[in-house]
Each structure stands twice: as structure tokens, then as C-alpha cells.
Structure 1
Amino acid sequence: MIRYPQLTGHHFGVTAPSSGVPAELHGLLHEAEATFTRHGFTLQFEPSVWTQDKAKSAPAEVRADELTRLFHDDAIDLIIPPWGGVLLIELLDAIEWDTLPPKWVLGYSDVSLFLFVYTLKTGIASAHGTNLVDLRGEEWDATSSRWLDVVSAKEGETVIQLASEQFQKEWQHENPSPHVYHLTEPTEWKSLGGTEATGRLLGGCIDVLLHTIGTPYGDVATFQQNHLDGEPILWYFENAELDVPALKRTLLQMKWAGWFDHTSGILFGRSAAQQPVQGYTAEDVYAELQELLDVPVIYDIDCGHVPPQMTLVNGAHASIQVEDGKGTLIQTFKG
């Protein structure tokens, strides 16, 4: 049984469970606040958001306490970090997972590690999607903006998202567009071994999820038994920094750990990290994985560090379809 948070208000908590924002970039937060205000939301910034030292916003205990406090604050309707980082893993032992109530947390990159463990440990859905600073533009692009439709949906409802028309090849931080991104390249979803798959969504940034393999924070089998009633998992991954051989090693480790024992498909977001190594490409890895698991592998979807991105809900029932390079994701908030 999956439980879904209910968005009932417009007051959002901003905390930095991984990296905070250094002083020279505080303008990004002010821009985001102005944008959210125009959309009718209020943002409550926690102290960690404004600081950054030694690769993190604050000591692990401070970050964990701040995040936990927002969860238990009934005035906070949704939690959204400013962005990701590298050391969210330090929080995992400092959080009392069983005490956390249902509340939407939205983010990606290092934040996806929290989302993944939160859903595995509690059976509560979480939203893998854009972060706060990427929503600071004068307008939200058609793909990223669907985050609000997703977290506003009620249990039993369905949300349909379509693949983007174009994606961003490279960041131009000094020259942001009205919606921050520069969407210049035609989007093309690709597939191997089938053009559609159905299952319960689960995943995140593979760079950080891999560190839960074989730990109490990556007990996929128990989650599947206790919360999914044995339904297959439709995995999704986005890759921030792993090279191609590291990606292959990680996927094999996941298989050996039983993560793919009952899966209906594997989805991969676009990645700028997967440069070929001696002719060995990410497409080679996808083909080998498809042959190994005999399930559809769908890649270059709108997910992760190459924007824009859809909002994928860990725990939701989902069907994904690809036709002529176009894609459709149908998510139903099934208990």
C-alpha cells in the first residue's frame, strides 16, 4: 500500500539537506521567491539554505533536524530544497524515518537519495522533479511546470505527461532564458526490447542510489513485498557523473543485489556524463541490460541533469509509451 501526500495549501518549506547556496548566489533564491510569489505561493527559508561550507550546507544533525521539523510543521505544505549536492547520505542515520508523516518533497540529484529512502522506508510517495532554483524564471517551461499538477493530484487520480519538444544541450548560467533553460535540441526518446512498460515507479540519481545497495536503506525486496503487494517495479535512473563502465558496474551490482528480480522495465534520463570509453557507449550498456533482464529499456527520457524534466512519483502506478521518438508517461496515484 502506497500513501500519497495531499497538497492542501501554498506555504512551502525550503531547506538544504545536501548543499546550501553560497552568498554570491543568494540572488538565485530571491529570484525564486519572487517567481513563487507571483504564482501565489509563499516560501519559508530555513537557515541551512543560505550557507555552504566543506561540501554541505550545515552539519548532518542540523540538516536532519531542520528537515524533520518541516515535516512535522502542519503549516508547511511541501518541502523543496534549493538544489542537490554531494553529502545528503550523511543524514540517513540521523533521521527517524518511522516518525515522518506524508508530505511532498520535490527535488532531484542528491535529493533523490532522500526521496528513495523515504519511500522505501515508509511507503509514502515522493516526487522526483525540478528543484527550486530551476523554477526561478519569469515563466515555467511546459515540461517542468507539470510538477504542480503532479503534487496537486489526489489519491486515485491520474496525471498524463508528454515528452518535451526540445531539451537543453548546455547551461548558459550568465544568460538565462525567461524559463532559465535554453531548449534548443529536439527531444527523442528511444527504446530497446519494447516500446511500453507498466509498473510502480522507483528510482533517482544512480550516482547516489548505488550507495544504498546492500544496506538497510536499499531494501527493495521488503518494500516490494510490504507496500507493492508484489507488483513489478518500473525503475528510472538519471546519471549525473558516472562514466560508462561505472554505469555498467553499478547496474550489475543492482542486479546481483536483487533490485531487478521483479521489474517491468528500466528508464534512463538523458545524461551529459556518459561519454564513450574506448568505444564503449551508454547505448551498449542499455542493450546489454535489456538482453540480461529481457524487459524494455527506454532511454533519453525527460529526467535528470539535462533539462527539462518530468515529475516522476516514487510508488505511483505508471505506464510509459514511446512512439516515433515521442513519449507519454501516465501516472495513477494507486494505493
Structure 2
Amino acid sequence: MIIPPYLKPGDTIALAAPARKISAEEIAPAVALLELKGFKVLVHDSLFGVDNQLSGSDEERAGSIIELLKNEDVKAILFARGGYGSIRTVEHIPQELFAEHPKWLVGYSDVTVFHNLMSKLGIQSIHGTMPINFPKDGTENSSISSLVDTLMGRGTKVSAAPHHLNIKGEAKGILTGGNLSVLYSLAGTPLDTIPEGRILFIEDLDEYLYHIDRMMMNLKASGKLSKIAGLVVGGMNDMRDNAIPWGHSAYDTICDIMKGYDIPVAYGFPVGHQEPNLAMVMGATVELQVTDSGASLVYTNA
């Protein structure tokens, strides 16, 4: 895996919007706080483009990312928000540019598309909070602190409290995954992740409970679950149900499907559409440790 250069004070972080549109007011707290942390912040001219829900046309969104990749002053690209649209953006970006100009790509949710692309290209990226989530009052929270530490190479592990559904054990592998719905949408495409021997991470938001079962059954039926070394489950937030209830929580559904796999499984990781949303290095080699006292992902090469 290619590890992009870690940041130092005075380096430039660029903001880009590969998916849903965003306003200057929404990113202002992030710009101010990142500058306060000692970084320069580049707000690309096209950041506030509008094409209905999207932040400009597919070509405009891709064009801004191409420009930022080629900009040698930019050391990291922080995606402003998710929503939907990244899959439409990446097909207009020559893939060789990511390897020719390796830099940290940061985001989560719909940005899972980019994490999968980076995984296919052998480049590490950061699953972490985005400007849309920065507190409006300008305060720093644990999600932001974790992101800054990870960008600067100070991240060593991510830990979670004990959970009654955990399956204890240890495993080592490359961390991969992201938003479950996006992973499901990429199945069978060139961006589909091959998880053999890897630690798979999943999280999701605002899905019907039976959809979680459908997507997990896809991972099972495709043989992916039988190939992974371990599973890490982050937030499964704001789930919905039908008039006739599904009858199981998202975690219980995942737990039922994971029966029979002799691998460690950790629930309740503080990552996803929630606070805290701690930063994780996708593509890093990690050790997953699940014990009575909790679970942790320890970086061995991040």
C-alpha cells in the first residue's frame, strides 16, 4: 500500500465536493477550525456549484478533484460532505492521477466510493469526519481531534467499549469497507472490494432494517464473508422499520448472519454517521483485538 505523506503545520488541506451540494456557510466552521489548527485551507472555486442536488455537473466535480490532485501544494483533500454522487464523479477522473499524486483523501458515507477505488489502486485513505459535521460553534470534538492526529501520522489505534454481541479473538489484515449501502451498490463493478484476508468495516444510516439483512445476505451469498479475517461494525443509526416490524435490530441481524464464521467480530465502534466518528486509515494493516474489555484496531504500518 502507498502511504501518502503525513501533514505538518502549514500544509494545505483542500476542500472538494464530489457529491451533494454545500454552501459557504456550512463549511465556514471547518475552515476556521482547520486554520486554527495550523493548516492552510484551499476552498476550490467550484466547491459551491449547483446542479439540482449535486455540487455541479459530473465533469465539474471531477475537474476540481483532478486540479487538486495535480496541485503540489495540496497535501490532503477533505471531502465536504457525502449524500450521493461520488460514483458519477470518479468515472471522469483518470485513475493514474491518484498514484501519480498520492495525497490523503478524507471522508465517509458516499465517499466509500473513493475508499474502494483507493483500495483497488493500493493507496491508503482516511475514513473520517467531514466539514458538514464540524460543530457550528467552532469547537473541536473527538472526531476532529482524531482526524487531525491521523492526518499528521499520530494515529495508533481505534478502540471500542465491550459489546454483548462481540465475538472474541484476534486477526490481522488490511482494513477495508465503509458504508454498507455503498458497498452493496458497488458489488459486481470494477470498484467492488475483494476482501480476502482483510478486516471488513461496515456502518450505515437511515436504512430499513430488512435492507440490512438483504445487504448482509449479499455479502454472505457472494462468498465475501467466508474470506474476511474479521468484521468491525460501526454505527447503524436511525434505522427504519415497516408497518409489519422486521423484528430484529441492525446489530442482531448482522450477528445472526455472522454465526458460523470463526472470526472475531466487534460491534459498536465509534465510527460512522454519529458522534464520535473517529478517523480510521483505510488500506492500513491492522490488528483487530476483541476481548472481554473491549475491541481495538491497532495500526501496524499506518
The equivalent residue for 1:213 is: 187
**Contact 2:18–2:79 (CA under 8 A) maintained in structure 1:** yes
Q: What value does the CA root-mean-square deviation take over the aligned residues?
A: 2.3
Distance 2:2 2:164 in 1: 32
In the TM superposition, what whole-angstrom CA distance separates every residue of 1:91-142 from its partner, at most 9, and x where no partner exists? 232121123231101111111221222222x100011011123235533223
The equivalent residue for 2:125 is: 126
What is the deviation of 1:32?
1.7
Amino acid at match of 1:159: T
Amino acid at match of 1:297: V
Amino acid at match of 1:18: A
Distance 2:173 2:29 in 1: 38
Give the SS at the match of 1:236: strand
Distance 1:292 1:162 in 2: 25
**Contact 2:216–2:254 (CA under 8 A) maintained in structure 1:** no
Where does structure 2 lack aligned partners over 5 or more consecutive residues? none
In the TM superposition, what whole-angstrom CA distance separates every residue of 1:233-287 from its partner, at most 9, and x where no partner exists? 1000111232221111112212333433421111111222334633132233122
Distance 1:45 1:191 in 2: 43
Distance 1:135 1:273 in 2: 20
TM-score by length of 1: 0.80
TM-score by length of 2: 0.88
More off after superposition, 211-220 vs 69-78: 211-220
**Contact 1:189–1:301 (CA under 8 A) maintained in structure 2:** no
- Paired residues, what number? 294
The equivalent residue for 1:250 is: 215
Give the SS at the match of 2:113: helix
- C-alpha change, 1:36 and 1:193, in structure 2 (3 Å) is closer
The equivalent residue for 1:6 is: 5
Where does structure 1 lack aligned partners over 5 or more consecutive residues? 164-186, 225-231
The equivalent residue for 1:97 is: 95
Identity of aligned residues (%): 24
Distance 2:67 2:28 in 1: 23
The equivalent residue for 1:41 is: 39
What is the deviation of 1:146?
1.6
**Contact 1:106–1:131 (CA under 8 A) maintained in structure 2:** yes
**Contact 2:198–2:230 (CA under 8 A) maintained in structure 1:** yes
What is the deviation of 1:319?
2.0
What is the deviation of 1:193?
2.7
Distance 1:275 1:113 in 2: 24
What is the deviation of 1:308?
0.7
**Contact 1:12–1:77 (CA under 8 A) maintained in structure 2:** yes
**Contact 1:191–1:296 (CA under 8 A) maintained in structure 2:** no
Establish whether residue 66 from structure 1 lines up as the match of residue 40 from structure 2. no
Distance 1:327 1:91 in 2: 35
Distance 1:325 1:270 in 2: 19
Distance 2:66 2:81 in 1: 18
The equivalent residue for 1:329 is: 297
Establish whether residue 111 from structure 1 lines up as the match of residue 107 from structure 2. no
The equivalent residue for 1:299 is: 267
